[in-house]
Amino acid sequence: MKNYYFTFCGIHEHKNGYVKIIAKDVYSARERMFEVYNEKWGFQYSEEEFLPQIKQYGLYKVETLKAL
């Protein structure tokens, strides 16, 4: 299992937030994000790409989900 991160666009209620999804692959993580947030999110990142951005942009975790 790997960690994937999803952010929201500037007009969303969680605009500075992110969701962490634990999944077997990028496709399962993306599918889970669509199940919960439909198309109301911005970008998807791997853990390596995303972790430095948390502090840099002052992001907060909305929730952690597990892919089904």
Tens digits of residue pLDDT in 8-33 = 987 778 888 999 999 999 999 999 99
Average pLDDT, the chain: 93
Residue 66 has pLDDT above 90, yes or no: yes
Whole-number Å distance between alpha carbons of 20 and 64 = 5
For residues 38-42, average pLDDT: 90
Domains of the chain, by residue range, sit at 2-66
Q: For residue 9, what pLDDT is reported?
A: 80
**In the beta sheet, which residues pair with residue 3?**
22
Burial class (CB in 10 A: 0-12, 13-18, 19+), 32: buried
Whole-number Å distance between alpha carbons of 35 and 58 = 26
Residue 34 has pLDDT above 80, yes or no: yes
Question: Could you count the other beta carbons within 10 Å of the beta carbon of residue 54?
Answer: 13
For residues 30-43, average pLDDT: 94
